[in-house]
A = this chain, B = another copy of it.
Amino acid sequence: MASQIFNFGAGPAMLPQPVMERIQKEFLNFNDMGVGLIEISHRSKQFGEVLEKAKALFRELSGVPDNYKILFLHGGARMQFSALPLNLLARKQPRRAYYYETGNFSKLAFKDAQRYGDVRVLSSSVSTDFDRIPDFNLDELDEDASYVHLTSNNTIYGTRWNSFPDTGDVPLITDQTSDILSRQMDYSKFGMVYAGLQKNLGPSGMAIVVIREDLLGHAIPTTPVLMDYSVCAKDNSLTNTTNTFAIYTTMLVLEWLKEQGGVAAIEQRNNEKAGLIYELIDRTPFYSSVAQPAHRSMMNVTFTLPSEEMTDKFLKEAGAAGLYALKGHRNLGGVRASIYNPMPKEGVLSLTSFMEEFERKNG
């Protein structure tokens, strides 16, 4: 094992070290109760305080307006790929929604929604292998659509939306799984935002859903009860036994984020971190950027090397040097450095040093 590990995994991803240490420290004795947090009731006063604190911190850090509900729901973002159409498609006839196609997860969201109504692709970057965000193409948007969906950051391809389309009265829904709270956003522009926890917020298995109150109450009657946002909002995410560990960890991550100076400060740090890698890539033909410069992600930096053999060598030597989980997604290959909020600048500097050294030896 190398002296220090930096984990560039795309998710479940590294968490802030102080958060990991805090969980470990109080694992057997939460809140001086003599038992662990995972051993107490989701309806206990003590867990209730955790849930309320997590919600309050998220609202404070994100700036989500008061007319939005904050929910914690089972199953991660993928469960919302079905829950979203089940809850929102029927708010207008004829159950129509539009999806921007910008990569693997946006395609899955589209596919899962298709079984519930008339779901259309508004614009796609498939013709350029998802190396960019496509044109907004708002001319084709039907004003009676139930919603428009997009994936704000594309984990696999390493692209992101820098600005968002103005969809007027049609609610814009964003899957922010891989960039939530990594940059400042005006939440009032979105009808709903959702994100799996396992990249910027906590462990895997759960999603946060932020939804404008007027969009509640339109679920298709056959919606499973735990996927009905109105039921979950009414029950404050406690319709059934919730994933207490995930919410507790998220609360700690949000406390940590606040200590870092909040979203404005972390955004600046994220831009610096990603900038270090992009600058290196742009300096040399040895490394090639996957994403177009105008649409590059600050969370997932994707690049290729001159050959597959060289990529394998890079990944093997990086792993031995303590730079962990840099392999690109199985759909794409190459290298991907996921540098979410918890990744320290030190980890990125270790990576860029390694990249320079690797190029010197092999370039």
B222 pairs with A115, CB closer than 8 A: yes
A262 at the interface (CB under 8 A from B): no
Smallest CB-CB separation from A115: which chain B residue? B222
Q: Which residues of B contact A75 (CB under 8 A)?
A: 74-75, 79, 226, 240
The answer to whether B33 touches A5 (Cβ under 8 A) is yes
- Report whether A224 and B34 are in contact in the complex, using a CB–CB cutoff of 8 Å: no
A82 within 8 Å of B by Cβ? yes
* Nearest CB in chain B to that of A199: its residue: B241
Interface status of A39 (Cβ within 8 A of chain B): yes
Within 8 Å CB of A112, what residues of B?
Answer: 224-225
* A35 contacts B by Cβ under 8 Å: yes
Binds B, one of A19-27, A92-100, A274-282: A19-27
**Per-residue B-contact encoding for A203-234, CB less than 8 Å = 1, 0 else:** 11110000000000000011011110000000
State A149–B244 Cα separation when bound (angstroms).
Answer: 28
* Interface check A78, CB cutoff 8 A: yes
- CB < 8 Å: which of B9, B36, B77, B115 contacts A20? B36
**Which residue of the partner chain B has the closest CB to A327?**
B41
Shortest Cβ gap from A116 to chain B (Å): 7
Residues of B within 8 A of A227 (CB): 224
A244 pairs with B39, CB closer than 8 A? no
Asked if residues B239 and A78 are in contact (CB atoms below 8 Å), the reply is yes
User: How distant is the Cα of A1 from the Cα of B239 in the complex, in angstroms?
Assistant: 31
A24–B38 Cα distance when bound, in Å, is 12
Please determine whether A204 and B38 come into contact, CB atoms closer than 8 angstroms.
Answer: yes
Task: Count chain B CB atoms within 10 A of each CB in A83, A203, A325 and give the residue with the most.
Answer: A203
**A13: B residues at CB distance < 8 A:** 39
Say yes or no: is A15 at the interface (Cβ < 8 Å to chain B): yes
- Write out the residue numbers on chain B whose beta carbons fall within 8 Å of the beta carbon of A191: none
**Measured between C-beta atoms, what is the minimum distance from A343 to chain B in Å?**
11
Contacts A20-B27, A27-B27 given: A74-B35 contact, CB under 8 Å? no
A56-95 at interface with B (beta carbon < 8 Å)? 74-79, 81-83, 86
Check: A171 CB closer than 8 A to any chain B CB.
Answer: no
Q: Judge whether A141 is part of the interface by a CB distance below 8 angstroms.
A: no
Interface centre among A36, A81, A205, A249 (most CB of B within 10 A): A205
Interface 1/0 per residue, A21-60 and B, CB below 8 Å: 1011001100011111011111010000000000000000
Across the interface, name the chain B residue whose C-beta is closest to A330: B43
Decide: A224 and B35 in contact? CB cutoff 8 A: no
Q: Which residues of B contact A245 (CB under 8 A)?
A: 203-205, 245-246
Report the nearest B residue to A21, measured CB to CB: B28
Enumerate chain B residues within 8 angstroms of A1, measured Cβ to Cβ: 32-34
Q: For residue A33, which residues in chain B have a CB less than 8 angstroms away from its CB?
A: 1, 5, 324
Q: Does A297 contact B (CB under 8 A)?
A: no
Chain B residue contacts of A74, Cβ below 8 A: 74-76, 79, 205
Instruction: Please name all residues of chain B whose beta carbon is closer than 8 Å to the beta carbon of A27 when the two chains form the complex.
Output: 20, 23-24, 27
Does A7 sit within 8 A of B, measured CB to CB? yes
A93 to chain B, nearest CB (A): 18
A153 contacts partner chain B, Cβ-Cβ < 8 Å = no
If A20-B27, A74-B76 are given as contacts, then 5 extra A-B residue pairs at C-beta distance below 8 Å, sorted by A number, are A4-B34, A12-B40, A20-B36, A78-B240, A203-B244
Supply 30 A–B pairs (Cβ within 8 Å), ascending by A: A2-B34, A4-B34, A9-B40, A12-B39, A12-B41, A12-B241, A15-B38, A15-B39, A24-B28, A34-B322, A34-B324, A41-B325, A42-B204, A74-B76, A74-B79, A74-B205, A75-B79, A76-B240, A76-B241, A78-B239, A78-B240, A82-B226, A112-B224, A115-B222, A198-B241, A203-B243, A203-B244, A205-B246, A224-B224, A245-B246
